[in-house]
Structures are given as structure tokens and as C-alpha cells.
Amino acid sequence: MGKKRKTAKQYGLSPKPFAFCIEYVIDLNAKQAAIRAGYSQRTAAEQASRMLTKVNVQECVQDLITTRNDKAELTADMVLDEIRKCAFSNMLDYTTVQDDGYAYIDMTDVTRDQMAAVSECTVEEYPEGRGDDMRMVKKLKIKLVDKKGSLDQLMKHLGMYIDRSEVTHKTPQQVTFKPPEKK
């Protein structure tokens, strides 16, 4: 049997902030979590913002997320692996190029890992030709996931670029601009 969840009292929280933590972990939408926990819609955003600055609320939220991840047997490595599969997908993994240069989709040797990058697979069946020459043709279309989005996620994870909306200083910094010196 798994570990028993801590109570509100063990985190030093009253029932309403504890309910906020539980609701927040559902979708990470602080304002909506506050509303679902019983705070008024008018003050929900401010209440949520204030609560998320409290150490005991942060600890509770982190513990709830960890518990959820443990139950789902989900790890950061698994998520990164899935993003990697999408980021490095290649259309040549799904096609066969003939001697005449024409390519067709060939799913016979596609692996489970390669299928992780397929977001859509459509089969169209239609008649081609007339009379005795008519035959049914199947056309297979595949669409891969957003490769750029997956690469962006990996680059952010690896610290290869900084999101410009990211705040890097916690204390205000005074910046003084001086004009270039005249020569």
C-alpha cells in the first residue's frame, strides 16, 4: 500500500488553502483552482497569487504533484524521451522511395517509437479508372507532430536559449544608460 497523503494540518494549512493545493494540481490554473476551492471569483486571482508565494503551499503542491507522478509511474525521463521521439522524427522513416524517384508511405517497418511522432493517419479509398479497368485505390496520409515545437521544448530543457519573458533577477536592478563618448 502507498504512502498516506499528509493532511492540511501537517502542512500548516487551513482547509481552504489545502483545497486550493489539491485543485491547483489538477490543471495548474491558479485562478480556477482558487474558485473551485471556494474563493470568490472577484478575488480568486489575487488569492491564488498570494497562496503560491507561501512555502507551505508550495511544499504541499510539490508533494501532490510527486504523488500523482508516482501513481502514474511518470518520470521526467519518460517525458523527455517522448519529446525526443517527436523532435527527431523524419519523414523518410515512413516512406519508401522508388527507383523512378516517386515515394510512397510504407508503414510496414515503422516502430512504436516512430509512431509516437504520428499525430494523424488517414486512409481514403476511392475508385480509379472506368468499366473493367476500374479498381479501388487506397490513399494513406500521415501527419507528424509539430517538430519545431518539440525541438523548442528540448532546447529550453537543455538551456540552449532563454525565453525572453523569463525573469532572472529577484531584486530590482538599477540600470544607467550613458551616451557614447564623443571622439
SS (H, E, C) the chain: CCCCCCCHHHHCCCHHHHHHHHHHHHHCCHHHHHHHCCCCCCCHHHHHHHHCCCHHHHHHHHHHHHHHHHHCCCCHHHHHHHHHHHHCCCHHHCEEECCCCCEEECCCCCCHHHHCCEEEEEEEEEEECCHHHCEEEEEEEEEECCHHHHHHHHHHHHCCCCCCCCCCCCCCCCCCCCCCCCC
Examine the pLDDT at 174 and tell me if it is beyond 80: no
| Angle (CA) 151 156 162, round 5° | 125
* 162 vs 78 pLDDT, higher one: 78
This prediction has a pTM of 0.52
**Comma-separated ranges of CATH 1.10.10.1400 domains in the chain:** 8-74
**Per-residue model confidence (pLDDT) at position 55:** 93
Task: Place 164 in a pLDDT band, splitting at 50, 70 and 90.
Answer: low
3 grid coordinates: 504512502
Mean pLDDT of 141-158: 91
Q: Is the pLDDT of residue 167 over 90?
A: no
Question: Average pLDDT, stretch 107-131?
Answer: 92
In the chain, what percentage of residues exceed pLDDT 70? 87
Q: Which CATH class is domain 8-74?
A: mainly alpha
d(C-alpha 143, C-alpha 8), whole Å? 47
